[in-house]
């Protein structure tokens, strides 16, 4: 297994803090923690959050 969290967590959180005033940083970054060695991972931004999910993420205010 490849530990994605170990590889990117600190870097992603630093970016989110650096650009915290940007609209997209109101919502925490999301990722899987691990992928199989022979697995595939697709990276992208999913802007299709519902209003309820946006509200919950803003209230949570936690990038971890």
Q: Strands (DSSP E) along the chain, which ranges? A: 2-3, 34-35
Give me the residues of the chain with pLDDT under 50, please: none
Task: For residue 3, give every residue at least 6 positions away whose Cβ sits within 8 Å of its Cβ, in sequence order, or none.
Answer: 33, 34
pLDDT score for 46? 61
Domain range annotation of the chain: 2-60
pLDDT score for 4? 85
pLDDT score for 18? 93
């Amino acid at each position: 297994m490849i530990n994605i969290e170990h590889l990117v967590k600190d870097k992603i959180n630093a970016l989110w803090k650096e650009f915290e005033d940007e609209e997209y940083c109101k919502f925490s970054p999301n990722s899987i923690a691990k992928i199989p060695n022979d697995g595939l991972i697709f990276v992208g931004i999913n802007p299709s959050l519902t209003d309820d999910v946006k509200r919950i993420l803003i209230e949570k205010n936690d990038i971890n």
